Amino acid sequence: MQNKKTNLASQNLCNDLYSRSKIGPLFYVLSTLITGFLADYYASLSMPFIAAMFVLVITAIARLMARPPQNTKDSRDAFIKKHWLLVFCCVVTWSIFFSWTVYELGLSSAFIFGLVSTINFSTAIAHQFSPHLKRALFCSLLCLLPTLVVIILFQPSLHVAALALALYIPYLLLTAKNSHKEYFEHLNNKLQLEAALLEVELLSITDGLTGLYNRREFNNQLGRAFATSNRTKQAVSLILCDIDDFKKINDSYSHTAGDDCLIHVAKVLKNVFSRETDIIARVGGEEFAIIVLSDSENSAMKSAENFQQLLSASVCSTQGHEISLTASIGVVCYQAQTSIKPHQLYDLADSAMYRAKNKGKNRVEYTTL
């Protein structure tokens, strides 16, 4: 259960990283274009501008094409590493380009626009990618610090801007930490809700005593089996079995012993009908139903006989007693070309089962269509 929760959390992290980063690369490209336009780099065909545009366009395409995997932990880890490598590439490229612009032009419309973009980028990184707090803060600071250093060393007239950036950094660190905490609280609540909903869904389709499907879900599964048979031309066999003299067990040993016997029967059924396509349900007090998808009618009949023999050869140990069990079983097979409804198939299997009881119990009866 814990491993499943860990896998779900890991998958959510991958999906969130992808959804939160889809648009980001485009803003790096647009900001570089606008900054270059304001700085008149088009006219001079500035190599730093051309290089920055080339790298950011390629990186943006790579980030948009990187899809989160849906399978193994290793593939998810590889996706996360690739994601952060591309984010790092975007941040470094923008930071170098804008720092060079500040060094070249100082106070200008390109500086004002670029500074706002830099603050936006660093804020977005710190909060959007806060699930990986250390990496997010590293890239966020990498976005801010080169510009701050260039202003301090080469543009003394912009020291007020440097002071504003310096004051903004601790605020960014504190809010990113809070965002990290809130994200995982939200993720934990989401996983708990999903687990609760899954448990409720499971409870709604299973029998509380045996863990098998209940009658309502059996009806749904039988309808799906008919649809599958019509699509694949595969036979659908329905097996109904009723525990013989079950009332005597309850009267002689107690209802608790009767419950233990039902659990024992369910275990034997699971051992015999163990294929993924086999559907086992408890459809009444001591009555069970099995849906078998097979290529031949004989397959279900042989499985039913195997179950009847194994059950009669076994005993249920309960409350110091060894209780022998037998079952009366009815089998009917549906072929796609047969004009019959699911409830009619059930009635035929039920008739076969009662025929087995009338013929002495502990036997299998087969009905042909």
pLDDT in tens, 212-235: 999 999 999 999 998 888 888 888
Q: Are residues 192 and 66 in the same domain?
A: yes
**12 part of a folded domain:** yes
Last residue of a domain, one of 169, 199, 229: 199
**174 part of a folded domain:** yes
The catalytically annotated residue of 201, 286, 287, 322 is 286
**295 part of a folded domain:** yes
Write down the pTM of the prediction.
0.65
Q: Are residues 172 and 318 in the same domain?
A: no
Q: Are residues 231 and 194 in the same domain?
A: no
Domain of residue 79, residue span: 2-199
Q: Are residues 243 and 345 in the same domain?
A: yes
Q: Are residues 10 and 151 in the same domain?
A: yes
**206 part of a folded domain:** no
Q: Give the mean pLDDT of the chain.
A: 91
Domain count, the chain: 2
Q: Are residues 33 and 160 in the same domain?
A: yes
pLDDT at 295: 61
pLDDT single digits (tens) 246-265: 999 999 999 999 999 999 99
Q: Are residues 32 and 116 in the same domain?
A: yes
Give the separation between CA 154 and CA 140, rounded to whole angstroms: 22
More confident: 235 or 57: 57
**82 part of a folded domain:** yes
**361 part of a folded domain:** yes
Percent of the chain with pLDDT over 70: 96
CB contact at 8 A, 183 and 302 = no
Residue type, 73: K
pLDDT single digits (tens) 101-137: 999 999 999 999 999 999 999 999 999 999 999 999 9
**209 part of a folded domain:** no
Q: Are residues 319 and 361 in the same domain?
A: yes
Last residue of a domain, one of 199, 225, 257: 199
For 155, other C-beta atoms within 10 Å of its C-beta total 18
Residue 286 designated active-site: yes
Q: From 22, 153, 30, select the one nearest 94 (Cα to Cα).
A: 30
Q: Are residues 138 and 246 in the same domain?
A: no
Q: Are residues 240 and 339 in the same domain?
A: yes
**Burial label, 218 (beta-carbon count in 10 A; 0-12, 13-18, 19+):** buried
pLDDT single digits (tens) 281-330: 999 999 999 999 876 667 888 999 999 999 999 999 998 899 999 999 99
Which residues, in sequence order, are bridge partners of residue 235?
294
Q: Are residues 168 and 62 in the same domain?
A: yes
Give the separation between CA 212 and CA 220, rounded to whole angstroms: 14
